[in-house]
Structure 1
Amino acid sequence: MTEPKPDIVFIITDQQRYDTIAALGASHMDTPNIDRLVRNGVSFEQCHVTAPSCVPCRASLFTGYYPHTNGVLANGQPWSKTWVTELARAGYHCVNIGKMHTIPYDAKAGFHERYVVENKDRYMEGRWFFDEWDKALASHGLKKQQRESYRKFPDYKDRLGAFTWDLPPALQSDNFIGETTCWWLETKPVEKPLFLTVGFPGPHPPYDPTPEMAEKYMARDVPLPEVSDEELAALAGPWIAKREHDVEVDHDSVAWKLKPTEAELKRMRSFYYANMEMIDTQVGRILDALEARGNMENTIIIFTSDHGDNLGDHGLSQKWAPYDQVTRVPMIISAPGRFDGGRSLSQMVQLFDLGPTILEWAGVVPDPTFEAISLNPALRGEAFAGRSHVFCEQAGDVNMTGASYLTMVRSETHKLVHFRGSDEGQLFDLVADPGERVNLWSDPAHAPVKQALLNELLEFHIESTMHTRNARHLIVSPPGEDAWQ
């Protein structure tokens, strides 16, 4: 008798750093529900994203290709073809609740049902798109808190994106996503195996916890960035330009400051961490709803994020710069009846490796042109070398005024960032300098390491081109074909 295909529940947050889960070492956090997943599951300690911002990372994750291959290198660029279609063909009922960040926002992207909730502070693109959260607020005669209202605060430029959610708590975006997911699980009978993607909008800014949760974290010690004048002076040119740009333009309700005070940084980080505990609470509610459905013994749960947030580290706001605070994300896979739990794996992997891993659970053979690799050998406890190097790339976003395209390559011991058309770059010794504060790009003593990593970048692009030379039809629809299906 053939075993029934597992239900797959994929929970993904937006802009969550690795150091935000108590069971993974974040002693300043209370995350009892995600901690349950850690105790019962397999945690990948070195999972790195393929792009340091939302849209290119998610397009990479849901296609199985690096950004330069699928052509999505910046926020706002259209994408909608995904491997979710293959799950549907394999007999899965595919549902998305919350953020996917397809462009257009409401593209089907292979799902049978979508309940779209996008950025908490849409402004650059899709500003007038009315998503499910907007509709819920409107049904109560309300409008979401966002930039136009925050700008009226007399201390707006001192808040660094941190504001309490002062509307009804149930209508805060992450609470709304948790509630909607539980409603769906409690009311929708599905006889097919389920693929459910839950996209929380937080802790992406504005950092907007409810007041009592904000007070909780304001009352405790939280880690604050340690940035010296020497580090700021030695930043690569594109990041100096980004700092200046982020002061002039308030992206996502974050008006940045070149020299924020300790109190301002404390509030920003406290609100961010408070937002994470609110997400944890909703994860607990979702786990309870899954238990009530009675199929937990055949359910695989994934918890991860699309990228992190500098939160003032290196003097930087938000993402785009591929420091480990941005590229390294938590990734937990919990299925106690299928994979031995309570394990942490230190091998390097990339977030988009989840694609072929999920397809194999559904009995689908991943396309051989995928650049993502399956994590199932590691999950089964078999020999698994992981990746010798991980890569991350970004081009054309509005914040990157000082670089048209960057590529990061990271080994277990070193990281290099290459800026297109520039003699400037970044090189870090991750063993001697895990905080990535001392740039060795121009240090003659490290020239051999620098050249070796530049050679890895060259091989990366050559191998990518050859490996995916027959994949274009899988990424770009022919003329006349609806790419949204």
Structure 2
Amino acid sequence: MKSLLAASFALVAATALAAPPKFNVLHIVSDDLNTSLGCYGHAQVKSPHIDKLAATGVRFEKAYCQYPLCNPSRASFMTGMRPGSTKVYENSTHFRKALPDVLSIPQTFSKAGAFAARVGKLYHYGVPTQIGTSGLDDEPSWQQVVNPIGHDKKVEDQIHTLTPGQFGGTLSWFNDPSEEPQTDAIGAAEAIKLLEAKKDGPFYLAVGFYRPHTPYVAPAKYFEGYPIDKIQLATGPMKDAPGMPTAAYASYKKEQDQLTDPMRKEILQAYFASTTFMDDQVGQVVAAVERLGLREKTVIVFHSDHGYHLGDHGLWQKQSIWENSARVPLIISVPGNANNGKSCPRPVELIDVHATLADVCGLPLPQSDGVSLKPLLDNPQAAWDKPAFTQTLRGAPQGTTAPSFDPKNLEKGKKAQGKGKGKGKAGAFFGLSVRTEQFRYTEWDEGRQGATLFDLQNDPQESKDLSKDPAHAETVAKMKAMLAGLKK
């Protein structure tokens, strides 16, 4: 990593020959946030600051992560490379192992002479255990880093959890009566300090908020906005619905068997409260951009790392490729864009963020697996035939402390299958999903362990599988061909 860091500084030193970026960039990332936001039509969640940002930018209605887990997703969108390129499928492998020379978003801006810094979680580290550390960071990406740590780390002995002693990988929540600043509030304050110090630009400032990632901890006043008797539980098909592939529900956790409806409402209340708390911090940072006279000089992008279930399909967290786990909020606000305030219905991917930021800031497009979304910023209704892909692994390590996964084991497993030996020694297989404007088609283990097709335009709850319907055979064939070309 030291040699990479030296190479990064050499890159910055050579920027005198490069044209500076046209705009500064403020890149805000939330953790484990789905589209439960006012600007995405949620009936209960209060998110006035993100809603205001959406009103001054282009809101992408159908944006998708490439892998519904923190490390693979963040390695992917911070480089613009698919998991099949980064070879990151769990929370332990660093993308530099497979791509030692790839440019990250901040490096693209550093190369053009911008100051690049992060506050909080941009690359992966475990929440809450690694709060206050750099976790699995990428040192060559940054000229300055800030790792905030707040009161939420002090109250872990008071947190309600389904698994005693665990707070990050399981459902856990706490209504905090203290007025001491929590980690995200400290992170917002530190981001504002950097904005003030670097207001003359150019800069790329990435701010990673921790909420609403479990444990859902927020100050008590945010819980007050969500009375328990007003909380609505998920409806629609639930876990192990007839005819659905077993692998589609493999992210279910056994401890969730103990949930009751009152507990489910408490959890939703805490998640929503954490979301509104995070929204307030977004508002603080964006207000500082405006106060400092930087709004017309700064591109602001907001998104999450992946979606989250909250009870739909009987699931509660991530690591599935149902719509709520794969879909993310994405808002891009470019100064002077005549389409700010509009929404875009085209399917897009988080790997597109790298090329998009370079493009709108007048920088050379990076080598990546994504494309620039500038055509959609220029015309949100423009013709667009690019689908969005999301993938996940079954039978491979996933957690923060899990060992690195060797993707070569997938090939061993396929060879064993071909010889009639089941899933082979690897015991691992991909779930691959492709989303067009109307449909989502998913295959598990190349279809050997099930496939589904949903018409999300007419069936948003993914309740009716059309994959075996002769009337949709042509659609299945087309989407199957799309998956066949995906780099795994």
State the match for 1:372 in structure 2.
Answer: 370
State the match for 2:176 in structure 1.
Answer: 166
State the match for 1:356 in structure 2.
Answer: 355
Q: CA deviation at 1:334?
A: 1.9
State the match for 2:144 in structure 1.
Answer: 113
State the match for 1:398 in structure 2.
Answer: 398
Q: CA deviation at 1:424?
A: 1.8
Whether contact under 8 Å (1:79, 1:102) holds in the other structure is no
Measure, in 2, the Cα distance between the counterparts of 1:221 and 1:402: 44
1:308 aligns with 2:307: yes
Q: CA deviation at 1:109?
A: 4.0
1:101 aligns with 2:100: no
Measure, in 2, the Cα distance between the counterparts of 1:264 and 1:51: 29
Which letter does structure 2 place at the counterpart of 1:276? T
Measure, in 2, the Cα distance between the counterparts of 1:75 and 1:386: 33
Within-5 A mapping of 1:163-312: 163-166=173-176, 168-186=178-196, 188-189=197-198, 191-219=200-228, 221-228=230-237, 232-243=241-252, 246-247=253-254, 255-257=255-257, 260-312=259-311
Q: CA deviation at 1:445?
A: 5.2
Which letter does structure 1 place at the counterpart of 2:484? L
1:427 aligns with 2:480: no
Aligned length in residues: 426
> Cα–Cα, structure 1 residues 446 and 151, in superposed 2: closer, same or farther, change >3 Å?
same
Within-5 A mapping of 1:124-135: 132-133=148-149
Measure, in 1, the Cα distance between the counterparts of 2:363 and 2:298: 17
Structure 2 residue ranges without an equivalent (≥5): 1-18, 97-101, 126-134, 403-425
Structure 1 residue ranges without an equivalent (≥5): 117-131, 248-254, 465-485
Measure, in 1, the Cα distance between the counterparts of 2:157 and 2:398: 18
State the match for 1:459 in structure 2.
Answer: 485
Which range is displaced more, 421-430 or 189-198? 421-430
Measure, in 2, the Cα distance between the counterparts of 1:52 and 1:318: 10
Q: In the TM superposition, what whole-angstrom CA distance separates every residue of 1:108-133 from its partner, at most 9, and x where no partner exists?
A: 142111113xxxxxxxxxxxxxxx41
Whether contact under 8 Å (2:239, 2:315) holds in the other structure is no
Measure, in 1, the Cα distance between the counterparts of 2:181 and 2:64: 32
State the match for 1:11 in structure 2.
Answer: 28
State the match for 1:25 in structure 2.
Answer: 41
> Cα–Cα, structure 1 residues 147 and 234, in superposed 2: closer, same or farther, change >3 Å?
farther
Whether contact under 8 Å (1:349, 1:386) holds in the other structure is no
Measure, in 1, the Cα distance between the counterparts of 2:165 and 2:226: 20
| TM superposition score normalised by structure 2 | 0.78
SS in 2 for 1:209: strand
Measure, in 1, the Cα distance between the counterparts of 2:69 and 2:20: 38
Q: 2:154 aligns with which of 133, 141, 144?
A: 144
Q: CA deviation at 1:333?
A: 1.5
Q: CA deviation at 1:45?
A: 1.0
Q: In the TM superposition, what whole-angstrom CA distance separates every residue of 1:301-358 from its partner, at most 9, and x where no partner exists?
A: 1111111101111011211111111111111112342443211111111112110111
> Cα–Cα, structure 1 residues 326 and 348, in superposed 2: closer, same or farther, change >3 Å?
same
Measure, in 1, the Cα distance between the counterparts of 2:380 and 2:475: 31
Which range is displaced more, 9-18 or 386-395? 386-395
1:76 aligns with 2:102: no
SS in 2 for 1:171: coil
> Cα–Cα, structure 1 residues 14 and 211, in superposed 2: closer, same or farther, change >3 Å?
same
> Cα–Cα, structure 1 residues 167 and 221, in superposed 2: closer, same or farther, change >3 Å?
closer
Question: What percentage of residue pairs aligned between the two structures are identical?
Answer: 28
| TM superposition score normalised by structure 1 | 0.79
Q: In the TM superposition, what whole-angstrom CA distance separates every residue of 1:32-82 from its partner, at most 9, and x where no partner exists?
A: 211211211111111111111111111111111211122112222212552
Query: Considering only aligned residues, what root-mean-square deviation do their CA atoms show, in Å?
Result: 3.2
Measure, in 2, the Cα distance between the counterparts of 1:372 and 1:55: 18
Q: CA deviation at 1:372?
A: 0.6
Q: In the TM superposition, what whole-angstrom CA distance separates every residue of 1:145-185 from its partner, at most 9, and x where no partner exists?
A: 4489645999999xx72422537444323223222222333
SS in 2 for 1:203: coil
Q: CA deviation at 1:446?
A: 4.1
Which letter does structure 2 place at the counterpart of 1:398? Q
Within-5 A mapping of 1:464-483: none
Which range is displaced more, 330-339 or 395-404? 395-404
Measure, in 1, the Cα distance between the counterparts of 2:68 and 2:157: 23
Within-5 A mapping of 1:43-54: 43-54=59-70
Q: CA deviation at 1:386?
A: 3.0
State the match for 1:478 in structure 2.
Answer: none
Q: In the TM superposition, what whole-angstrom CA distance separates every residue of 1:232-279 from its partner, at most 9, and x where no partner exists?
A: 354421244432xx11xxxxxxx4227x33222211111111111111
SS in 2 for 1:217: coil
SS in 1 for 2:224: helix
SS in 2 for 1:257: helix
> Cα–Cα, structure 1 residues 455 and 31, in superposed 2: closer, same or farther, change >3 Å?
same
Whether contact under 8 Å (1:150, 1:156) holds in the other structure is no
Which range is displaced more, 277-286 or 449-458? 449-458
State the match for 1:418 in structure 2.
Answer: 443
> Cα–Cα, structure 1 residues 409 and 32, in superposed 2: closer, same or farther, change >3 Å?
same
State the match for 2:55 in structure 1.
Answer: 39
Whether contact under 8 Å (2:352, 2:373) holds in the other structure is yes
Whether contact under 8 Å (2:29, 2:207) holds in the other structure is yes
Measure, in 2, the Cα distance between the counterparts of 1:427 and 1:4: 43
Whether contact under 8 Å (1:87, 1:362) holds in the other structure is no
SS in 1 for 2:319: coil
Q: In the TM superposition, what whole-angstrom CA distance separates every residue of 1:372-391 from its partner, at most 9, and x where no partner exists?
A: 11111221238732344211
